[in-house]
DNA sequence: TTGCGTGCAAAAGGTTTGCATAAAT
DNA sequence: ATTTATGCAAACCTTTTGCACGCAA
């Protein structure tokens, strides 16, 4: 181990909250109660979630730390912009996932139980870059979704049916 | 060539129309003017398209072969079901593409001019199947979208700006 | 005190549905 | 004669926006 690696390896020297506060300060924007409440909830336990699932976990209207739906949308967009979350679409809804220290990854989507299984593949990134190079295309990102049935749903009927996607 | 390959290799022995008519007959459903009009328009020249772009090419309300928007949505869903089209989402909108004799393919999406560039990669399919196998996942399909800037948009400003996606 | 941020209500945008009528079988 | 399909209008669902008020700096 080289001397500087001691610094590199400090595990979580910058928390999401700190990173977001820096983001706000850099832009002269304000550190409000609502932003803190949403951030706290998002980074408490979620992996990926949609807006409705997030709202279920937040205080309801009338309660102490209520955050309105428009503000939630606005705040999540800021988190994406600040690099804390990534956003994608699934069945006509926006889905967010943590982007905090994670390496990029992609998903297997089970059509039986609607669960998302993450995987990471360097080979995929290499393949992506090779394809892009062939087309003189400058890559900023990618999204791969493999659809099918997870191991659980292959044996036995579907379980944990969640919500019917629209499409 | 074996004798039966003569049959297999007849290039386009089943047109989209014929395939769709079979699909309808099999289900005891009706071969209507509207279904024929939409099918004809879809398979005339389009590669991928969204509903609004399709409607632009169809007769307007009041004209001879007008097809209403709900019927267009219903008909496109049938085409997908019949295996003639594939559907995916891009920026909150449904996008359809021909699935008629095509091999599966994926897309580069240019954020400058909103164009979709197709590519086909066996290596990707192999990689997909390998990943799935590792997770004991049964694949039914996949969708890879590589985002970035096409060659044209890298040199010079963006051109052909179409419509702002919502997300 | 100076705006940025919030909640509310309403709009927007894309897609779906209920229903009476029209058309295919 | 039946029964499916269509067009219209309206509903739906998710997300965004206008605006007056409230709160952070």
**Is residue B76 within 8 Å of residue B87, measured between CB atoms?**
yes
Query: CATH second-level architecture of A12-98?
Result: Orthogonal Bundle (1.10)
Q: A69-77, long-range: CB within 8 Å, 24+ apart, which pairs?
A: A71/A34, A71/A38, A72/A38, A75/A34, A75/A35, A75/A38, A75/A39, A76/A38, A76/A42, A76/A51
Beta bridge partners of A138: B149
Closest residue, CA to C1' of C12: B166
The full length of chain A comes to 167
Question: Does pTM top 0.85 for this prediction?
Answer: no
Domain with CATH 3.30.1490.190 in chain A: 106-155
What backbone torsions phi and psi does residue A74 show, to the nearest 5 degrees? -65, -40
Domain with CATH 1.10.10.10 in chain B: 12-98
The residues on A that touch B, with CB distances below 8 Å, are 87, 89, 92, 94, 108, 110-111, 117, 119, 121, 123-124, 127-128, 131-132, 134-151, 154, 167
Give me the pLDDT at residue A16, please: 87
Nearest nucleotide to the CA of B167, by C1', is: D15
Cα–Cα distance, A70 to B165 (Å, whole number): 19
- What Cα–Cα distance (Å) separates residue B50 from each residue in A142, B73, B98, B138? 21, 11, 12, 30
Distance from CA of A68 to the nearest CA of B (A): 20
- With a cut of 50, which residues of chain A have pLDDT below it? 1-11, 158-164
Which residues are CB-contacts of B46 (< 8 A; sequence separation ≥ 6)? B53, B54, B98
pLDDT tens digits, B19-63: 999 999 999 999 999 999 999 999 997 788 999 999 999 999 999
Q: Which of A104, A121, A135 to mutate to probe the B interface, most B CBs <10 Å?
A: A135
Q: Tell if the CB–CB gap between A146 and B136 is shorter than 8 Å.
A: no
One digit per residue, pLDDT tens: chain B, 167 residues?
Answer: 434 434 344 445 688 899 999 999 999 999 999 999 999 999 997 788 999 999 999 999 999 999 999 999 999 999 999 999 999 999 899 999 998 777 789 999 998 888 899 999 999 999 999 999 999 999 999 999 999 999 999 986 544 444 445 55
Which residues are CB-contacts of A20 (< 8 A; sequence separation ≥ 6)? A35, A39, A78, A79, A82, A84
Q: Measured on CA atoms in the order A36, A68, B166, A88, is the torsion positive or negative?
A: positive
Cα–Cα distance, A116 to A108 (Å, whole number): 6
CATH topology (fold) of A106-155: Dna Ligase; domain 1 (3.30.1490)
Distance from CA of B39 to the nearest CA of A (A): 21
């Amino acid at each position: 181990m080289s001397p500087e690696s001691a610094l590199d390896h400090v595990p979580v020297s910058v928390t999401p909250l700190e990173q977001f506060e820096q983001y706000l300060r850099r832009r002269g924007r304000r550190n409000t109660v609502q932003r803190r409440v949403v951030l706290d909830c998002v980074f408490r336990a979620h992996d990926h979630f949609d807006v409705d699932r997030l709202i279920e976990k937040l205080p309801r209207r009338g309660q102490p730390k209520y955050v309105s739906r428009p503000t939630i949308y606005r705040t999540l967009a800021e988190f994406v912009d600040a690099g804390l979350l990534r956003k994608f679409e699934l069945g006509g809804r926006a889905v967010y996932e943590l982007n905090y220290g994670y390496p990029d990854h992609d998903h297997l989507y089970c059509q039986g139980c609607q669960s998302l299984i993450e995987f990471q593949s360097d080979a995929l990134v290499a393949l992506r870059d090779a394809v892009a190079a062939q087309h003189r295309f400058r890559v900023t990102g990618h999204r791969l979704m493999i659809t099918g049935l997870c191991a659980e749903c292959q044996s036995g009927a579907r379980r944990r049916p969640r919500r019917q996607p629209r499409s």
